[in-house]
A and B are shown apart, each in its own frame.
Chain A
């Protein structure tokens, strides 16, 4: 058996080299070009790659029935995983739903197909606020799907009526009095972002002094921050372990239900707005079905049905008349204009991303 050692190692080595070579080859994305598709045309079954619990199954059934194609939906837990999956090529998906900054990255990487709006006339339904987002100013490659904010979930029965402010997590005189029952997200961009809003800085800053300042704020808050938690923050709040928690709007609202002891607040110093967007992969196998699907979701009634199901806000203005009042009149889902003006997108900071990660890691431990 001993003699076989060499062969074994060589085989493994060759396989690694082969794999690396394929990986290198896959890196060169196809140039993005708009597909030549007629309105309502289909050219095969649809493969959708989406976040979990983010699509009403009824809608997919309706689409299948109306256009006579089959839809297969796979889900991913994070933008980074989505990116890793499609970046290497060979992922057989047509429509994906990346968040704002990831759209920007995917455009730069030539992963997305330019959209042909002759096949997506429903793009006119999109509200003006979402027609020129910073990550894709002319909506050349993406159309918004749903949107929400990152703010604070609070237990009103413990903290009483409070101003919606980041003071609740950073001010020693407010947060320090809450007995250490606060959680922040375990996310370098969102959590550093919160400190940057509180300091009055740009949440997308690349200035190392400002980042250091934000890290110092988080570090000083460790006395009363129970945990940095991105998955269970809502459960901890509802279970009484925390009384203030940073997190995502839809997630809180979904979990709070009708319980009036809990509320979702958008801090007045500024908060993060995010969108998830439909985009078509440059190497989609069924680009026309994909266009038809995007147009289908942007339909007023379908868009409303989606929001009534997800409890996230719709960028579809025409859909609003079909959205249930519970959702539409909830300022936590549809904030008023004054609050809207104070919401910011987190943009990719390129090489500075690692500073966010390292300053944040340093600050929290």
Chain B
């Protein structure tokens, strides 16, 4: 690695000017840089090994061909997998996934914001207890908790029985889009609450008081002070909810009964059933692009507003 630490010629200070001091400074800088590199090395290796290389393989495979037997032929590169992304079926599934993910994000925000606000304005002791309550679901696996929803929503489950008692008979909840979206909201709500809490908690409430002193109504003070200042939390929370909802696989499979295919399931189908790895890889790359684009868009719009 030593060679890469050589400063590029353009930036280099003239070595002859004050050799001893500059040399010392440079040594310190080098040592600092080397230490930083060493500290970062394990995570760097981890990312390269388990993220960059696999992603590279997916990228390469997406240009491959499916042999008649379902093997992936590399070489003879083609864009045909990417062309299939524009078929009406893929469009339909993408539209559904987008719709579900947006709805999930909006509901999580509507439910999560008041809760995070409440949380952040409690005395520290209560706050601690409430925070633990938010995180308790993480103590058990999402898969287990999603299966529990199967029982709750099942046709002999408590929810259907309550609905039946108040006059809604023959209601079906399990294996409907409602069940899928409910599961997504349930699964990802903490990811909305925690960043919201973090940014509201940091908010200087004397600013809100100042707004009120200047005769701003409660709503006005929220709109012009609290909301803009909590925007970073809104953005972070929305991205943390939107991205996993868009690519969700486990929740729609378990609660949707596979009647509402989302993109995640369609990708799995390519690998485990159609044995069409190039198309599955192309789909994955497309999902990645959509996520990246929406995250960038969101960050940019957020950054502008916050100033």
> Hey, which bits of chain A sit against chain B, CB under 8 A?
1, 3-4, 6-8, 11-13, 15-16, 19-20, 23-24, 27, 78, 80-81, 83, 87, 105, 108-109, 179-181, 183, 186-189, 222, 225-229, 239-241, 348, 350-351, 353-354, 356-358, 361-362, 364-365
Contact = CB atoms under 8 A, between A and B. Distances in A.
Interface in B49-67: 52-53, 56-57, 60, 66
Contacts of B274: 188, 353-354, 356-357
Given A24-B74, A226-B174, A350 B68 contact: yes
Contacts of B218: none
A223 B4 CA distance: 65
B69 to A, nearest CB: 4
B89 A361 contact: yes
Nearest to B3: A7
Contact of B71 (A109, A186, A361): A109
B231 interface: no
Contact of B273 (A1, A11, A80, A241): A80
B261 interface: yes
B69 A364 contact: no
B260 A365 contact: yes
A302 to B, nearest CB: 32
Given A81-B272, A109-B69, A241-B155, A12 B48 contact: yes
A272 B60 CA distance: 37
B53 A15 contact: yes
A357 B71 CA distance: 16
A301 B292 CA distance: 60
Given A4-B4, A15-B53, A357-B274, A348 B37 contact: no
Contacts of B93: 361, 365
B44 interface: yes
Contacts of A183: 257
A3 B275 contact: no
B290 interface: no
Contact of B261 (A16, A109, A361): A361
Chain B: interface residue count, which band? 35 or more
A356 B274 CA distance: 8
Nearest to B253: A186
Contacts of A7: 1, 4
B273 A226 contact: no
A105 B269 CA distance: 18
Nearest to B75: A24
Nearest to B59: A16
B93 to A, nearest CB: 7
10 contacts: A1-B37, A3-B8, A12-B53, A19-B53, A24-B75, A108-B69, A109-B71, A225-B259, A227-B258, A350-B69
B5 interface: yes
A357 B273 contact: yes
A101 B8 CA distance: 60
B57 A16 contact: yes
A364 to B, nearest CB: 6
Contacts of A8: 44, 48
B70 A353 contact: yes
Nearest to B52: A12
Residue picked from B5, B40, B68, most chain A C-beta under 10 Å: B68
A188 B258 contact: no
Residue picked from A13, A24, A240, A241, most chain B C-beta under 10 Å: A241
Contacts of B33: 1
B36 A1 contact: yes
Residue picked from B4, B57, B258, most chain A C-beta under 10 Å: B258
Nearest to B44: A8
Contact of B48 (A15, A227, A361): A15
B223 interface: no
A226 B69 contact: no
Given A227-B258, A357-B269, A80 B75 contact: no
Nearest to B260: A365
Contact of B89 (A15, A108, A109, A362): A362
Nearest to A189: B273
Contacts of A87: 71
Nearest to B8: A3
Contacts of B68: 108, 350-351
Interface string B239-282: 00000000000000000011111000010011111111001000
A24 B73 CA distance: 8
B172 A180 contact: yes
Interface in B81-113: 87, 89, 92-93, 96
A357 B270 contact: yes
A180 B171 CA distance: 11
Contacts of A227: 174-175, 257-259
Contacts of A19: 53, 56-57
A229 B87 CA distance: 26
The 10 A-B pairs at the shortest CB distance, nearest first, are namely A227-B257, A16-B56, A228-B258, A357-B274, A350-B68, A105-B69, A186-B258, A227-B175, A12-B52, A365-B261
B74 A241 contact: no
Nearest to A355: B274
Contacts of A23: 57, 74
B302 interface: no
